[in-house]
Amino acid sequence: MQCLAIMKQRIRVRAVRDGASIALWFLLGGIVGCGNVAPDVTARTEAELLAAGPFGVGVAQARFIDPARPTQASGAFPGSPERRLDCWVWYPIDRPVVGLAGVAKIPEPSRSGKFPLVLLSHGLSAPSNSQQYVSLHLASHGYVVVAPTFPLTSLSSHTGVAFDVTDLGNQPGDVSFVLDRMLAIANGDESAPSGFPDFREVIDTGKIAAAGLSFGAFTTHLLNFASNLRDDRLDAAVLYAVGDMSALAQGGDVFGLSGGGFTPVSAPSLYFSGSRDLLTTPEGSRKTWATVRSPAWHAEIVGGTHIWFADSNAPIAGYENPDLFACEFVRGGIGGSIGGGEVLPCTDDGKDPIVSPPSRQHDFVLAGTLAFLDGILRGDQASIAFLESGFGGASGIRVDF
């Protein structure tokens, strides 16, 4: 009954903007997250989900300016009356797929249908294309992926500021603003930036997901649950290494989260964690997942680390667990602590062996993310069956729902 109640809440939200799709969404995708996959459904295989999709991949960049919200002064950056959001965009194109290495730049999008939109948020100090392996894979399977660069938490930001955690409270608004712009372009209500592909009649404006890694997962969680920041246009969310959001909320003033609280209404969610993650911990991610109403899945990668949720999957010399290096890097960037308190666990009990090779962690991320999005946004029960079978019964991952 809990699952059904949440689906009714989601249907009421979608009724305001997309009434025509309500019945189909409920019948195909609305109840699958409650363990109600039909018994005669055959789950998709990991090999199928890891294979490149039928589309080529185009890559573009865009700059969106929000004149209504300022960027605070930070370090050597004097502040600005506006927020500049430089974005990477990956999207399907009509070209035979030989592999994802040769990525085309600025071709026109495929016109073979309308594609769901995914908004991807980067981690603290990371560039916005730091999960390009995810973006490329999704785009090849018919998703448009947009990744904004947050002004004060990225080494690739125009401000030169990468570790200002007090700007977190502004990042959900950044994602919502980028969503506004992409939908306006898709609907033909706004001109695209110079050199940007023509996305008119390309994006399915009724199928929207948010995803994020680490600090970007914080942003994504706030978009779903913070009563004063949530965006009810989201239909699904994927959170990589989110950690304990209740602990984050307790330091609200430090993170720029004053006011509001958390609400149980959310989009269907998939939470990933790694059992050897030293920055956010699987226990923290599981605690956050446990507070979320169904449908929500938690997938813990045995031996998975924090840093290998990003593009890098190479060992770091001198570090059995690469997260120890990441801890040193982040602690240096934030000055050792946040608000005078220790927020990074950075202790390794070695309870599980490190994933070897680390590319296996990427495999779990790609297969699980695609299965979840196809299941929720496209109503594919075979994809949900893959999740609920424990990723096809694969060893090295623990799945709860």
Sheet with strand 236-240: strands edge to edge: 104-105, 56-66, 83-93, 144-149, 115-121, 203-213, 236-240, 269-274, 296-301, 397-400
Strand spans (E) along 122-166 = 144-149
For residue 239, the model assigns a pLDDT of: 97
Mean pLDDT (whole number) for 204-225: 94
Out of 218-222, 258-262, 314-318, 320-324, least confident range: 258-262
Query: DSSP secondary-structure letter at 98?
Result: S
Report whether pLDDT(139) > 50: yes
Extract the tokens encoding 213: 């890694």
HSE-CB at 145 with a 13 A cutoff on CA atoms is 32
d(CA 313, CA 42): 32
Domain ranges of the chain: 2-400
Which residue shows structure tokens 């994809």? 383
Which residue shows structure tokens 């990441």? 326
Report whether pLDDT(385) > 60: yes
Mean pLDDT (whole number) for 13-27: 33
Q: Which of residues 62 and 344 earns the better pLDDT score?
A: 62
β-partners of residue 59 are 90, 105
Q: Which fold has domain 2-400?
A: Rossmann fold (3.40.50)
pLDDT band at 344 (very low <50, low <70, confident <90, very high): low
CA distances for 80 relative to 65, 71, 72, 258, 319, angstroms: 11, 5, 7, 21, 40
Through-space distance between the first and last CA atoms of the chain, rounded to whole angstroms: 15
Angle, vertex CA 8, rays to CA 201 and CA 229, nearest 5: 65
For residue 4, the model assigns a pLDDT of: 31
Query: DSSP secondary-structure letter at 180?
Result: H
Out of 97-106, 265-274, 347-356, least confident range: 97-106
Mean pLDDT (whole number) for 229-236: 92
For residue 216, the model assigns a pLDDT of: 95
pLDDT band at 209 (very low <50, low <70, confident <90, very high): very high
